[in-house]
Structure 1
């Protein structure tokens, strides 16, 4: 689902994984009394299981920071006392160093926390992912699908009443390629068919 809203989702997740060697977790759309609408978690399974079973979320200083602050920081810079020893426990699972990004969109909180075992994240690494995540937050919270120009060109052709062959000729591509891009647009929009996809694209002002 979330890949519908984040541009080049697979590539971006691969880039994040290259620096977050111990994993990451990101959540979008946390309300005052509700869980996140969308969550991606690549932390070690044993740590996640322990964290959830013991309700560490309510004791975690990183969570306390991100729920009350917008911006980005290293875990080690958070001055809230870790009286329950959550961070030392996390370190035994490879989450020794980390950073967290938190943003608020439409009164809903979004966060990204990422970790590694060998060193602190650099200022540049934190800055890069703060900028990227801040750009993603409104897209995901507002659930605005992201289509590339190739997919939009095919939808424009459909909007103008062109058939597959006519669209292929206008774009100098093959008919199978037209169908592939149409199918991709339908998937990203969560549409039932091409007609529904076109209606949604128009409503989102994508075409």
Structure 2
């Protein structure tokens, strides 16, 4: 099975678990992801970008500094800019962040859904999907190769 088709299948599986969306930054190197996918509502994506929230997003900071799982409702989460509360106001509830890979090539994802908190089994499934996406895309370095163009062009509504 080719890499593009495998990534599309994994993104579809993530999307099925996250009815209000997800964001996935794959192989972050020097603060930029090699690939970025998101299925959050456009209104939230625009608001997040226009207000530069990535710079103060505590779940992004956590994902860069740690690997594992973070539940957005964790009372220990330091969020002085109120990014998680803003996300909730935009319909992003029950958030979970997953971070995997070495600091030099980290993959970070955020997942939300409307139907209640993710169960431990569902979080395990999300972790597995994110880890597999990280592994499947390992070794992609040529930013302008045809395979990268195909991976960037994946449309989550059709993945």
TM class by shorter chain equals: 0.7 to 0.9
Q: Distance in 2 between matches of 1:6 and 1:74?
A: 30
- For structure 1, the 5+ residue unaligned runs are 145-186, 191-207
Which residue pairs with 1:63 in the alignment? 60
Label 1:90 to 1:58 Cα distance change in 2 as closer, same or farther (>3 A): same
Aligned mates of 1:119, 1:80 — CA distance in 2 = 20
More helix by share: 1
Q: CA RMSD in A?
A: 2.5
Whole-angstrom CA distance in 1 between matches of 2:130 and 2:138: 12
Structure 1 counterpart of 2:89: 92
Structure 2-normalised TM-score?
0.79
In 2: Cα distance, 1:110 partner to 1:121 partner: 20
Structure with bigger RCO (C-alpha 8 Å, 6+ apart): 2
Aligned residues of 1:60 and 1:82 also touching (Cα < 8 A): yes
Correspondent of 2:126 among 113, 122, 129: 129
Q: Following the alignment from structure 1 to structure 2, what is the Cα–Cα distance between the partners of residues 47 and 189?
A: 26
- Separation in 2, partners of 1:78, 1:110: 24
Moved over 4 A (4+): 187-190
SS at match of 1:141: coil
**Matched position secondary structure for 1:8:** helix
Call closer, same or farther: CA 1:4–1:89 in 2, change over 3 Å: farther
Please tell me whether the aligned partners of residues 90 and 96 of structure 1 are also in contact (alpha carbons under 8 angstroms): yes
Is 1:5 the equivalent of 2:3? Answer: yes
For residue 35 of structure 2, the aligned residue among 38, 43, 47 is: 38
Separation in 2, partners of 1:106, 1:64: 12
Alpha-carbon offset, residue 99 of structure 1: 0.8
Counterpart position of 2:12: 14
Equivalent in the alignment of 1:177:
none
